[in-house]
Structure 1
Amino acid sequence: MAILFIFLILENILEKFIPFLNFFDEVLTIFSLVLLVIFRNKLVINRNEIIMLVSFMITIIIGIISNLLAGVRVVPIAVIKDIIQISKFFIIYMFGTSYLYKGITRVAFRRISCFSKAYLVILLIFGLASQFIDLGMTGDKRYFIYSYAFLYSHETFLVSAVIIMISVLLAQNDIKNKYYIIAGFCVLLLTMRSKAIIFMLVVISMEILGQRYDFITKGSQFWKKNWAKIILVGIFVFGVAILFLQSKVMLYVGYGMRAARPALYIVGFKIMRDFFPVGVGFGEFASYISTTYNSPIYTRYGIQEVSGLNYETHYAYVSDTYWPYIFGQLGVLGTISYLIALYYTFKNVVKKIGNTRGKLTAAIALISYMIFACFAESLLTNSDIIIYALTLSYYLNIDGENI
């Protein structure tokens, strides 16, 4: 499994040389589902996972009902593909937490830790060098920094790789890892992605809290006694994030229906209103699948010529956000059941792997990043979600002491 970790970290780079790797995430999802079905009697499943599975199955049913009731159209192959896309996170997570429930071995964890340290150093060296030498690894200049992507197809994929490796080092609970974590933070800053700031803020806040309060051994008593302070920390993190993001948010608001991302949000809410309490169903909105099979929804709401949502721009920004994909296609009922499934998944993550400060910090930081990232990318359906799901369910499932 250490080899799989390294492969997933490098997968986006390898796609340039091995094109069929584009389908790796779907193949692994189907393979994991088959194993879960075959060995269903041997799976170790708790209450949180049962609620998560039931809620997600209800979500799928609501989505299919939406297809039938919306009266837009029903394209079976588009529906099937979209169900696979939305299922990837939950299936892979269940595979890691119930089929691979014993967790990663210490030997394998040391291997991915060593790889992460070496790779973070390499990324930082090339990142700093690329600010002064044109290595073909940078994009536009923001403020005084050229956005850094290394060999990845976009800065976002580099961000995902780096925060996963930082999470592994946090879980190791080794003070010596702080230098590599700082190196990772520097790489994140070089990507010039605002959402990476969220991850760093959560890690720093959790570390400060962890040094001052013993929230691991005191368990639920800590959270009950200090809930006000925790909320204040959350508000602080959110406030700083808004400070960093406000210019971009105001820019999107100013564009309105003329830009892809705000148009998807606006139309998504309109769909949720017009088709209440369901949505338009799978394969119809805010995904490449919907454009591949020529969904009429874009024309119906007048955004078929918006840059990034039209043929001329190859629908480049149709998946540039995630939540409109959920509430537009699933409606109010489907969104509620989907959020319940996510909530119990994340609750299960904290319960199963949050037994040390390092692992709890890594888990909460990853979850926070995933939630915020979905406002600006389709993280929960793209190829990167595989390593997020495996990290939260398997790669962080270790003893966490003296590794």
Structure 2
Amino acid sequence: MSFILILFLIFQDMILKNFPSDSILNYWDESLTLLLIIIAVLMLLAGKAVLKKADLLVIMTMVAIVVVGLISNLMFRLQPSGMTIIRDIVGFVKFPACFSAMRIIGLDDFFAKHMKLQSIQILRIIVIVEFLLSIISLFKNIGMSQSEIRYGIRPFEFLFSHPTYLVLANVFILVILDSTLFSKGILKYEFMLLIVITLSMRTKGIAIVLVYMVFKYAAKYLKRAKWLVWPGAFLAIYVAGISKVKLYLTYSGSPRQSLYEGAFKLMKEYFPIGSGFGTFGSMLSGSNSSVYNFIGISGAWINGELTTVLGDAGYAYFIGQFGFLGCLLYIAMFYVMYKVATEQKKKLPGIILLLYVIIALTTEATTSNAGTQIGIILSIIIRMEYLGQKNMELV
């Protein structure tokens, strides 16, 4: 039963794309986040849970950022809708709140211990199916690729609504398998996963594939110069992303360029606390925020209709809304999560998932859109790393 939830977290886009956009099911992540927060608080008040130092630090920095954002809302009044502010707060806290709540309640331990061999075999079958279909899609249109051409091929999206969701789902599968299997068991599935992610033709997907290879394989040959691993990872990100950056620089006024320019303008204008929740860099901000009266975002509205452009730059959201102080707090919170992930014997799965978040935030609101899934799965794989489930090795 517990594995069914894991599958839902991985493939929720594939499932929910068949429901209307205004369906109540589309609020599952906000509802689950609030439920986890309530249970965690009640258990702490009842003395049935222990608050670890790392989780205390995550919660404190998260709350501090919320306070910074609310102070901005009260001072500058750029967002008149209280409901928009509340919804944006919930969207912001998904990632850190779910991560810490899972650990406080003990659900990370529960899910990790119930990750049975049969569950891993199901993921193995899914990987094989995805891989075979991705190869077939290279030569024949079977309705699982986008119509656009990137680098000479059509981006593979499987049954997801967009290749971005394919990348995230397969990163989840990769880190789960890497948390439970050793080299003998994971190698062939790892290869297939990296191919599938690459065939999505998303820059972030290609970047995380290169980063994974640097950490997993290049690091073995750099034992006497481990300090080269991180520069190597950032070089891989640079190699994967430089062509896209050059493309953006070839024309001015692109949506993402407008978002980042606007974000830094807000950081300067409302230093050091930013413009506040629901004011910039999110779809929620598009209907009520007065920020857009003096900061124009190219392509945000077409014929008076709001497009998805406003959510196309995750870092712009943080920089503009929370300012210099909020960004420092977020970096501190992220660093605490990184330290928790690297305290385990197997550090790679946690590092890869966190690096994916860092990469993806350049072009999308990853922690707002998928914060619940990322927070929950990060907590589980860290616990699986700690438990060292050798019995799951596949041959």
TM-score, length-normalised on structure 2? 0.91
CA distance in 2 between counterparts of 1:135 and 1:209 reads 36
Aligned-residue offset at 1:17: 2.3
Out of 106, 117, 128, the residue aligned to residue 124 of structure 2 is 117
CA distance in 2 between counterparts of 1:314 and 1:249 reads 25
Aligned-residue offset at 1:211: 4.2
CA distance in 2 between counterparts of 1:392 and 1:285 reads 27
> What is the aligned partner in structure 2 of residue 391 from structure 1?
377
What secondary structure does 1:102 align onto? Answer: helix
Question: Equivalent residues in 2 for 1:295-310 (5 A)?
Answer: 295-303=289-297, 306-310=298-302
8 Å CA contact retained: 1:49, 1:348:
no
Question: Equivalent residues in 2 for 1:309-320 (5 A)?
Answer: 309-310=301-302, 312=304, 314-320=306-312
Q: Output the amino acid matched with 1:374.
A: L
Q: Does residue 189 in structure 1 map to residue 198 in structure 2?
A: yes
8 Å CA contact retained: 2:127, 2:189:
yes
8 Å CA contact retained: 2:350, 2:381:
no
Cα–Cα, structure 1 residues 391 and 302, in superposed 2: closer, same or farther, change >3 Å?
Answer: closer
Q: Output the amino acid matched with 2:193.
A: G
> What is the aligned partner in structure 1 of residue 177 from structure 2?
169
> What is the aligned partner in structure 2 of residue 361 from structure 1?
348
Residues 257-289 of structure 1 deviation map (CA, whole Å, 9 limit, x = unaligned): x21111100010000001111111100101011
Q: Does residue 134 in structure 1 map to residue 134 in structure 2?
A: no
Q: Output the amino acid matched with 1:381.
A: S
> What is the aligned partner in structure 2 of residue 6 from structure 1?
7
Q: Output the amino acid matched with 2:83.
A: I
Aligned-residue offset at 1:173: 3.0
8 Å CA contact retained: 1:308, 1:318:
yes
Q: Does residue 273 in structure 1 map to residue 264 in structure 2?
A: no
Aligned-residue offset at 1:324: 0.9
8 Å CA contact retained: 1:68, 1:74:
no
8 Å CA contact retained: 1:52, 1:344:
yes
Q: Output the amino acid matched with 2:39.
A: L
Residues 167-200 of structure 1 deviation map (CA, whole Å, 9 limit, x = unaligned): 1111123312210110001101110011112322
What secondary structure does 2:354 align onto? Answer: helix
CA distance in 2 between counterparts of 1:245 and 1:322 reads 16
Q: Does residue 38 in structure 1 map to residue 66 in structure 2?
A: no
Cα–Cα, structure 1 residues 309 and 361, in superposed 2: closer, same or farther, change >3 Å?
Answer: farther
Q: Output the amino acid matched with 1:259.
A: S
Q: Does residue 241 in structure 1 map to residue 247 in structure 2?
A: no
Cα–Cα, structure 1 residues 138 and 308, in superposed 2: closer, same or farther, change >3 Å?
Answer: farther
CA distance in 2 between counterparts of 1:247 and 1:268 reads 23
* Percent sequence identity over aligned pairs: 27
Q: Output the amino acid matched with 1:18.
A: F
Out of 171, 178, 181, the residue aligned to residue 187 of structure 2 is 178
Cα–Cα, structure 1 residues 26 and 241, in superposed 2: closer, same or farther, change >3 Å?
Answer: same
CA distance in 2 between counterparts of 1:109 and 1:210 reads 30
CA distance in 2 between counterparts of 1:315 and 1:70 reads 26
8 Å CA contact retained: 2:212, 2:352:
yes
RMSD: 2.0
Out of 317, 328, 337, the residue aligned to residue 320 of structure 2 is 328
Cα–Cα, structure 1 residues 204 and 302, in superposed 2: closer, same or farther, change >3 Å?
Answer: closer
What secondary structure does 1:45 align onto? Answer: coil
8 Å CA contact retained: 2:215, 2:233:
no
> What is the aligned partner in structure 2 of residue 222 from structure 1?
none
CA distance in 1 between counterparts of 2:141 and 2:176 reads 31
Aligned-residue offset at 1:202: 2.7
Out of 137, 145, 148, the residue aligned to residue 153 of structure 2 is 145
Aligned-residue offset at 1:241: 2.2
What secondary structure does 2:159 align onto? Answer: coil
> What is the aligned partner in structure 2 of residue 402 from structure 1?
391
CA distance in 1 between counterparts of 2:175 and 2:27 reads 26
Q: Does residue 250 in structure 1 map to residue 251 in structure 2?
A: no
CA distance in 1 between counterparts of 2:247 and 2:305 reads 21
What secondary structure does 1:92 align onto? Answer: helix
Cα–Cα, structure 1 residues 234 and 311, in superposed 2: closer, same or farther, change >3 Å?
Answer: farther
Aligned-residue offset at 1:84: 0.1
> What is the aligned partner in structure 2 of residue 223 from structure 1?
none
Aligned-residue offset at 1:344: 1.0
- Give the count of matched residue pairs: 380
8 Å CA contact retained: 2:248, 2:254:
yes
Q: Does residue 349 in structure 1 map to residue 333 in structure 2?
A: no
Cα–Cα, structure 1 residues 350 and 236, in superposed 2: closer, same or farther, change >3 Å?
Answer: closer
> What is the aligned partner in structure 2 of residue 199 from structure 1?
208
> What is the aligned partner in structure 1 of residue 60 from structure 2?
54
Aligned-residue offset at 1:308: 3.5
What secondary structure does 2:86 align onto? Answer: helix
Aligned-residue offset at 1:379: 0.5
Aligned-residue offset at 1:132: 2.2
What secondary structure does 1:148 align onto? Answer: coil
Out of 64, 87, 108, the residue aligned to residue 81 of structure 1 is 87
8 Å CA contact retained: 1:138, 1:147:
yes
TM-score, length-normalised on structure 1? 0.89
**Which sits farther off after the overlay, 188-197 or 19-28?**
19-28
Residues 347-401 of structure 1 deviation map (CA, whole Å, 9 limit, x = unaligned): 22322xx223xxx11111111111111001110000x332221121024412222
Q: Does residue 373 in structure 1 map to residue 360 in structure 2?
A: yes
Question: Unaligned 5+ residue runs, structure 1?
Answer: 215-225
Question: Unaligned 5+ residue runs, structure 2?
Answer: none
